[in-house]
């Protein structure tokens, strides 16, 4: 196949990847349930979609690679179409349809998906660093990571 995954990628149930062209998914990226990632496509012109055209027989004719960066999070039912680059550290809201590039460290939502917030003013850190910091109580005093008394751990409000 044409799919390349970084380490610790999570793809939730019901998700599909059409990899007619290369699809790259970066490290620690989480894809919500029922996502669709489609690197292939067909012409918008009906005459080019008939069997005698190359488009129907070869979806790469109108497809393009997809790049999804590291430390991204997609809500449920996100669709990513061919030729899109989603930068590192992005959050894509549930139900969004991504048809154009999304820069690094942005929150983007909608159909078509658009940037609603840039995270440039928040210091960059990996998901692992964030989790460790949060577990150690460096979260503004709002929550702490604690034993739940039943053999597990959970977040508790202080």
Q: Could you report the per-residue pLDDT of 128-156, keeping only the tens digit for each?
A: 676 676 666 665 555 554 444 554 444 44
pLDDT digits (tens, 9 = 90+) for 96-111: 999 999 999 999 999 9
Of these residues, 2, 16, 42, 147, which one is catalytic? 42
Residues 6+ apart with CB under 8 A from 71: 26, 27, 28, 29, 88, 89, 126, 127
Give start-end residues of each CATH 2.160.10.10 domain in the chain.
3-118
pLDDT in tens, 64-105: 999 999 999 999 999 999 999 999 999 999 999 999 999 999
Flag whether pLDDT at 126 surpasses 90: no
Question: What pLDDT band is residue 44 in, cutting at 50, 70 and 90?
Answer: confident
Ranges of beta strands (E only) in 6-158 are 10-11, 16-18, 23-25, 30-31, 36-38, 66-68, 73-74, 79-81, 85-86, 91-92, 97-98, 106-109, 114-118, 143-147, 153-157
Catalytic, 42? Answer: yes
Average per-residue pLDDT for the chain: 82
Question: What distance in Å separates the CA atoms of residue 16 and residue 25, rounded to the nearest whole number?
Answer: 13
Planar angle of CA 114, 115, 116, nearest 5 degrees: 115
* Residue range 3-118 in CATH 3.30.1950.10: no
Instruction: Give 62's pLDDT tier (boundaries 50, 70, 90).
Output: confident
In this predicted structure, what is the pLDDT of residue 3? 95
Question: d(Cα 3, Cα 141) in Å, to the nearest integer?
Answer: 41
């Amino acid at each position: 196949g044409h799919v390349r995954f970084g380490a610790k990628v999570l793809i939730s149930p019901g998700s599909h990847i059409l990899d007619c062209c290369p699809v790259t998914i970066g490290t620690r990226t989480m894809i919500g349930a029922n996502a669709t990632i489609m690197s292939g496509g067909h012409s918008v012109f009906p005459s080019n979609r008939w069997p005698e055209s190359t488009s129907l027989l070869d979806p790469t004719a109108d497809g393009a690679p997809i790049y999804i960066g590291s430390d991204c999070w997609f809500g449920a039912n996100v669709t990513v179409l061919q030729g899109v680059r989603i930068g590192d550290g992005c959050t894509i809201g549930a139900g969004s349809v991504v048809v154009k590039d999304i820069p690094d460290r942005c929150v983007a939502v909608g159909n078509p998906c658009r940037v609603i917030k840039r995270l440039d003013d928040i210091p960059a850190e990996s998901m692992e660093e964030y989790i460790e910091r949060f577990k150690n109580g460096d979260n503004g005093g709002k929550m702490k990571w604690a034993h739940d008394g039943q053999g597990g751990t959970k977040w508790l409000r202080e």
